[in-house]
């Protein structure tokens, strides 16, 4: 584990936020730099959607990002969690995100792993595949897609959002040999073969 996520309170804005705190060890700091790079590349290019990292002191824009309506509307974010702010505290790199609910694994566990409605499965598939299409356009591999990294933003509409880019890399830098969680690991990674965008598609298929 690269770090821990905490539910915190932004007292200036009066809202709860999710803060991912990275362990302050060199190996984790190096990976955090790569994660931050990926998260910034994922920021929406739509001029109507604020780049909240570079406008971190604009409280009105930050408050807009934390609002339930804005956080739930992930069309501009391609169904991926948007970084709102980043900072360093006592040598720990910290990333700030809107707060969502439970992840897909917790949702299935709470249902005693009973089959999910087909409408939910289809909606989840569409959103995750849309996320993969956008990642490919940015030459980014997620490298750790699993139920724990899919947050449910709206159970009623079967809305999900992809999180945790701590293992991500650019397609040109796909040289790591130990990636992906065991049950969602693609054959080429298992066999130590060259890999690319298809490994994320395999993980999504394994989830479905």
- Enzyme catalytic residues: 144
Q: What is the distance between the alpha carbons of residues 91 and 97, in angstroms, rounded to a whole number?
A: 19
Q: What are phi and psi of 167, to 5 degrees?
A: -110, 5
Quick one: 19 exposed, middle or buried, by C-beta within 10 A (0-12, 13-18, 19+)?
buried
3-state secondary structure of 114: coil
Distances (CA, A) of 64 to 50, 137, 145, 204: 9, 27, 28, 31
Structure tokens at 22: 């990275």
Nearest to 78 by CA among 41, 118, 109, 25: 41
């Amino acid at each position: 584990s690269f770090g821990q996520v905490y539910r915190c309170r932004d007292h200036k804005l009066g809202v709860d936020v999710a803060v991912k705190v990275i362990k302050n060890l060199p190996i984790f700091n190096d990976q955090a730099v790569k994660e931050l790079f990926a998260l910034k590349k994922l920021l929406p290019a739509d001029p109507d959607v604020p780049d909240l990292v570079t406008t971190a002191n604009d409280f009105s824009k930050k408050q807009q990002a934390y609002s339930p309506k804005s956080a739930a509307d992930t069309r501009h974010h391609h169904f991926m969690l948007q970084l709102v702010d980043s900072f360093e505290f006592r040598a720990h790199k910290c990333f700030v995100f809107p707060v969502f609910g439970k992840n897909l694994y917790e949702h299935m566990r709470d249902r005693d792993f009973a089959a999910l409605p087909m409408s939910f499965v289809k909606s989840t598939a569409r959103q995750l595949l849309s996320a993969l299409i956008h990642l490919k356009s940015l030459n980014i591999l997620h490298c750790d897609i699993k139920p724990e990294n899919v947050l449910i933003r709206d159970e009623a509409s079967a809305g999900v959002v992809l999180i945790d880019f701590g293992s991500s890399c650019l397609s040109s830098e796909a040289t790591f040999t130990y990636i992906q969680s065991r049950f969602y690991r693609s054959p080429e990674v298992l066999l130590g073969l060259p890999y690319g965008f298809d490994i994320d598609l395999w993980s999504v298929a394994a989830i479905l």
